Amino acid sequence: MKPNPDLLKTRVFHSLKSLPCAGDTLEPRLLEIIVCEAFGARHVGDANYFADGILSDRQISVKTRMMNPIILKRAENSRDFQSHPDQFLGQHHNHKQDRYTAGVEIVQRRQALDLNDETAKADQVGGATLDGFRSVMQESYQVYGTQESWEVIAIHGYDRTQQNYLVSVFWQEYDELDANDIAWSREPGRVIGNVIVDGNAVKIVERINGNSKREATCFKEFKNLLKYQNSLHVGVPLPEPWAFDQSALIKEINDLETAREEELRNRPDLFV
């Protein structure tokens, strides 16, 4: 699997021309479609399966995350996810709470469980969550006739100068989590899973309770994107938006309506 960098850049550039307001960012579904196109995959992401794209015998799950740059008074000290990837994309440490998280938060899906997620043991919730996600992957294999599962994560947003739009794409074959290798514990409103990395307990997974006001039943993984096997980094200067000419657009609409009416009169069978 290898994306076409020129196709990715031009599709991003073209889409930026149509943003409603200055400073808006690309919508997740649009970027998902662009990423599938860049890989040469058929987009199928509107169905409730693991696959967002199909490429031969591979099913591809595309996840997107927008990241804002850190703008400081001294411009040379400002940062974005391409200029300072360690700060944005790798494992991080909350010094105040002395807690480690493996990396970027990725919401895999909403994962309902056949148990009481408020009272069940943490390892039961964790195991059931991973089993449920695995069953969705298997169902996707059957629906699309695929044999491999790959994940693609696209990080996007403005650069530290706010004059360019950045997209970094990371991809590799999906590495299934083993519930037995994870230390599960409860926190208010959720169950988390840690693994030991360099002697520290590092959070790699989280499942939100079903009664939560926000993100109910969400299954999340935390990814260190700096360790991914493959990556592509592109950026484009911000384009001028498409000009809005009301008179020209009204004429185009009227011309199309007239053409359709003429076609209907000549070929009514086309509209049966």
Distance CA 237, CA 235 (A): 7
DSSP labels for 186-198? Answer: EETTEEEEEEEET
Instruction: Tell me if 150 sits within 8 A of 1, measured CB to CB.
Output: yes
Query: Which pTM value belongs to this model?
Result: 0.91
Q: CA 229: distance to chain centroid?
A: 18
The pLDDT tens digits for 13-36 are 999 999 998 899 999 999 999 999
Instruction: Tell me if 203 sits within 8 A of 217, measured CB to CB.
Output: no
The SS3 call for residue 73 is coil
At 270 the pLDDT is 63
DSSP labels for 37-97? Answer: HHHTPEE-TTSSSS-SEEETTEEEEEEEEE---B--SSGGG-B-TTTSHHHHHS-EEETTT
At 272 the pLDDT is 56
8-state DSSP, 70: B
The pLDDT tens digits for 146-196 are 999 999 999 999 999 999 999 999 999 999 999 999 999 999 999 999 999
